[in-house]
Structure 1
Amino acid sequence: MGTTPTEVLAFPNISAIVRDNGTAEVVVAGNSRIVPAGESLQDLRNNALDLVVGEARTLQRPVRVRIEDPEGHGELIVHPDKKIESVSYESSPARRRTQAPETPPREAAPLTGTVPATGPATVPAESDADSAAPAKEDAQPWPPRPASSSPASSGPVSSLEPATRRPLKEAGSFLAAPGTVEPATQGIRGMLNNLGFSLAPSADELGEREDIRLASKHFAGTRTIAVVNQKGGSNKTPTVADLAAVFGRNGGSVVAWDNNPTTGTLGWRTEQGDHTRSALDVIAAADALLSPAARSADINAFVHHQSTDKYDVLRSDADVDGTHEVTAGEVDILHRVVSKYYRLILMDSGNNHRSAEWNRMIDHADQLVVPTTNEEDRVEAALLTLQGLDLKSDRSASLAANAVVIVSERQKGEARLSQETADKFRPYVRDVVVVPFDPALKSGQIRFGALQPATRRAWLRAAAAVARGL
């Protein structure tokens, strides 16, 4: 049974082109490879298909290839085991003449795979190749035998069927769908490409590219992400910092806002600028920052820029003798200010889900992220946080149902426990991502570049999951 054409991926974009001057090339994802010369047109076809078979073997799956030569054009499916299937083929107009050629057919070498007759074997001139006795299907897959032709048929075609008219509204776009994929840059394929090969990326690399695309997306208007768990020590602050780093490094305009009624730890775990201003200072300067005369750089006097991770931090009040409690109205003011200067807001939170500050954050949120470690009490607190939001209002229930839960391993060797924890949440939320243990997240300033590759990849996966909900 053949492969259904729709089951074969359309990337990388592959073309095999044979010219009547005796040259040919195979183009894979925009990279051209010269086909070895042959003694006949069929030799060139076979040599071109050998290169395509090599590409299929590299990808370990069938590939589509568009074929073009002096006799026509079409599409084939090429398998790693050299099996070749025809999807479509159309002879060029010059090969479908309604009159026989005026000159007698010349002698030519038999096509590859044909059975020689007694005496000199002859076939019609190349212009009448469609009416020649076809070779065995496996031996001569290109050009394919037309489905309507009979092995016993010969001679010129007497007439052509007129094309059936169709309504113009049924016509799709004539623009070719983008199919070019950049060659692999990672793993053994990337190493070989550095040596001059042109190998397609693996499924893992393609998945990573898609996650980067999502993390780089620019939205129409500001988006707010609330990171919540009503239990302390559930990894809220590292979650905010690492998600902000992924979005910031991929071109976003990002602020991490410590929306904590007491002294939050986000300021301790990130770089400090050349000042000590906090959210209270933004509230005091809100009129100036929201005025039409304000400039985009004015916010820099109040936030703390992360030099390598490319995002800003708005700290909570750090005065040990401070008594000011931020109200719901002041959260609104702060949100108006940061919405003017940033496209993406990640809000760290405290543990008091009854406070006005916490609940106003939920009112502004477009996406909910619930972090937890695999410790039992943190896991239970994450569940209770989601259940409380599910009961609070229709809007917060929608946020809970579409939440992303991020399970961070508390210590090394807990991969199985983390997966079991993740599986508990999967039926109830939109997505769950597990982040492996990394000693760089235990203490000190959080710098994304200091994390292990597997940890960085997990946070990229988490950021892409969050972006899908925005």
Structure 2
Amino acid sequence: MSATDTPTQRASVVLHENGTGQVAIGEELFLLSGPDARANRAEARQKVAEHAKATAQSVEMQVTESGKSLLLLVGPDGRVSRAQAKSSAPEVSSAPSAASAPSPAPAQATDENGTWTQAEAPATGPESTPVRDEIADVPRLEGLEDLVQATPDQGRGAYAKSMVAREHSEDLPRGWDFSGEEGQPVSAEPVYLDPLAFESTESPESVTVGGVGHAVPASQSSLPEPGAALDPVDSDPRWEEISARPATQGIRGRLNGLGFHFAPAPDEVQERREELQATIAGEEQIQRAEAFRKVHEREQETRRQAREREHDERDRQQRALIQTNFDDGRTITMVNVKGGAGKTTAGFLIAATLGRVRGGGVVAWDANETRGTLGFRAAKDAHERTVVDLLSNADAFGTVEGSRLPTLMRYVRQQGDDQFVVLASDKDPEAQEMVDADGFRTVHEILERFMNVIVVDTGNNERAAHFLAAIEATDQLVIPISPGADSVAAAEWTMDALAARGHEDLVRHAIVLLQDSATRPGDGAEIAARFEGKVRQILPIPYDPALDGGTEIIFDELQPSTRDAFQEATAAIAQGLAETREN
């Protein structure tokens, strides 16, 4: 990239004293928030270099820092060099005159401090003579000389604007000399830009308004002091057109209404400048708000992705626990002598979670001493056989031909996508009574031949013979509790009764499921505190309206939070079963 390359793109970098800053490239705005100014400079340079490389065009990078401005050139190869001073002054002709001729540009020189100055122009020759007034019929107005100034690009007078650069190394902010860094050219220090200095093609003592012939002393032109901060209006491409518009206010505006072309007075120019400043400030505020919104959205997206990764990792770990090979059949028993505590619902959903994750080999058995509701809440099958029918034909499983899975499938009910089966209790309470302690052991032995996990839903009488037989066969105890005080008290009674019968170890390793309810509110933290230290784990189960009607349970209709809670509970149960296997 040669020094004469003309960049086709521009970037603006603003670094604040508080350590923040921003980079504007086209319509994109990037916020800088590095640990220090050097880091912000490096990040700004990197973003502009990336843009130059992506577009294969050099970028003119205007930097504002510490109240100073400087101009750098960033090439597509990432090399950063000092931008050369350049003139953008359009050639403007004077007012129509029979003897008009182009005026020579004033000579340029620098003083001992390197500041650009304007040499004295010759005071003789036709170029230095103000253009005569060609509108003879316009009355001469007192003070008009102070109202008229040069008008850009209207075929009259003279107007020129250029970007003037100067070296002033002792005032340069540190950090923009990239010499010696890898991939950067070793060059002189950067240069400051004097914001929009105006040069006249007329004599430096005066400028002439086309078509009028009245001069305004050059001393009235308010040029920025060298090294002053660049006004954003001067670098805005709209300002050239706005400032060049004919006057609309005062006597100038009234004359323009008659067909003349007077430039605006300084007050009107200042008003236009302030209006554009307000517009730019509003646009920058919108850009900052948009940039903040994008940053906020990115942060939210990052947090969302982090939560998703955490959830996925937790899901993977829980599924791995549930899929544990236990080497032998395992029995999970739901107990609480209080009816309505949620034993049937919890038993069904634990069996469904096991079936879905393990891929089958799970049976949920309604072992109520009278008549349970597990069969009612489960999916229906082509038959309505129950545990009583299985027990009545238990002898068939004593033969080689009868000891096959299809024989068992005659008595259980398939649960479809949940990939487990239900062994329902009998509708006849008297017939159900035949499932005593011996009957329980017989059925349990048959189920163990074909199933890896047996989930037993017990009744409400801890003294019943088959209840005690179920406890004897249990590997993992689960105690569902509803928020009501009676359910909590019944759970404590159940635990005390089991401990009194020598099952302290089962109670100590039990898992309590604290199920929320819409109709029976309770203090979950207070309830959990009552069981703290008495059981292995206490897990909350959220309320789900899909379970509140007492109808058939459809797993896919549960809320995601409910499915997650039962997967967590099932993983905890599986971990307990794995520990039982190791012991």
Provide TM-score, normalisation by structure 2. Answer: 0.46
Give the Cα–Cα distance (whole angstroms) in 2 for the partners of residues 461 and 429 of structure 1.
Answer: 17
Check conservation: 2:330, 2:454, Cα contact below 8 A: yes
5 Å-filtered alignment, 1:232-381, equals 232-251=339-358, 252-293=360-401, 294-319=403-428, 322=431, 324-381=433-490
Look up the match of 2:44: none
Contact 2:370 2:432 in 1 (8 A): no
Q: In structure 2, what is the equivalent of residue 438 of structure 1?
A: 544
More moved, 341-350 vs 421-430: 421-430
Contact 2:333 2:455 in 1 (8 A): yes
For residue 341 of structure 1, report the CA deviation from its aligned partner: 1.0
Please give the residue correspondences for 1:124-143 in structure 2 after superposition, counting only pairs within 5 Å: none
Task: Give the partner amino acid of 1:237.
Answer: T
CA contact (8 A) 2:511 2:537 kept: yes
* Partner Cα separation in structure 2 for residue 111 and residue 221 of structure 1: 69
1:419 corresponds in structure 2 to 525
Deviations 1:322-354 (A, max 9, x none): 474322111110011000110000000110100
Say which SS state the counterpart of residue 540 (structure 2) adopts: strand
3-state SS, counterpart of residue 538 of structure 2: strand
Counterpart residue identity of residue 506, structure 2:
L
Aligned length: 285
Q: What corresponds to 2:491 in structure 1?
A: 382
Larger RCO: 1 or 2 (CA < 8 Å, sep 6+): 1
What root-mean-square deviation, in Å, do the aligned CA atoms of Structure 1 and Structure 2 show?
Answer: 2.9
Relative to 1, partners in 2 of residues 1:323 and 1:406: Cα closer, same or farther, differing over 3 Å? closer
Whichever residue aligns with residue 375 of structure 2, its letter is G
Q: Quick check: 1:397 aligned with 2:504?
A: yes
Whole-Å separation in 1 of the counterparts to 2:312 and 2:472: 37
Corresponding position of 2:311: 204
Q: Could you tell me which residue of structure 1 aligns to residue 334 of structure 2?
A: 227
2:571 aligns with 464
Q: Distance in 2 between matches of 1:112 and 1:328?
A: 85
- The secondary structure found in structure 2 opposite 1:316 is coil
From the superposition, tell whether residues 417 and 302 of structure 1 become closer, same or farther in structure 2 (CA, over 3 Å).
Answer: same
Between the aligned partners of 1:318 and 1:236, the Cα distance in structure 2 is 19
Identity of aligned residues (%): 34
In the alignment, the residues of structure 2 paired with residue 323 and residue 389 of structure 1 have an alpha-carbon distance, to the nearest angstrom, of: 24
C-alpha displacement of 1:292: 2.6
Give the Cα–Cα distance (whole angstroms) in 2 for the partners of residues 110 and 299 of structure 1: 83
For 1:267, what is the secondary structure of its paired residue? helix
In the alignment, structure 1 segments of 5+ residues that lack a partner are 1-108, 117-186, 193-198
Could you tell me how far apart the structure 2 residues matched to 1:412 and 1:204 are?
A: 30
Q: Is the 8 A contact 2:388 2:431 kept in 1?
A: no
1:269 counterpart letter in structure 2: R
CA distance in 2, matches of 1:201, 1:231: 39
Of the candidates 557, 561, 566, which is equivalent to residue 454 of structure 1? 561
Partners of 2:480 and 2:517 lie apart in 1 by 12
Distance 1:212 1:424 in 2: 30
AA at the equivalent of 1:234: A
For residue 376 of structure 2, give the secondary structure of its aligned residue in structure 1. Answer: coil
One-letter code aligned to 1:247: L
Q: 1:321 Cα shift?
A: 5.8
2: CA distance between counterparts of 1:257 and 1:332? 13
Query: Is the CA contact (8 Å cut-off) linking 2:388 and 2:432 kept in structure 1?
Result: no
> Structure 2: 5+ residue runs without aligned partners?
1-178, 187-299, 578-583
Partners of 1:304 and 1:455 lie apart in 2 by 24
> Is 1:407 the equivalent of 2:514?
yes
CA gap 1:340/1:112 in 2 versus in 1, 3 angstroms: farther
Runs of 4+ in 1 over 4 A off after TM superposition: 109-113, 187-192
Q: Does 1:213 align with 2:333?
A: no
Alpha carbons 1:226, 1:347 under 8 Å: kept: yes
Question: AA paired with 1:432?
Answer: I
Counterpart Cα distance in 1 of 2:541 and 2:331: 22
Question: Match of 1:318, as an amino acid?
Answer: K
What letter corresponds to residue 402 of structure 1 in structure 2? H
Secondary structure of the structure 2 residue equivalent to 1:207: helix
TM-score by length of 1: 0.56
| Corresponding residue number in structure 2 for 1:52 | none
> What SS does the aligned partner of 1:308 have?
helix
CA distance in 1, matches of 2:440, 2:342: 23
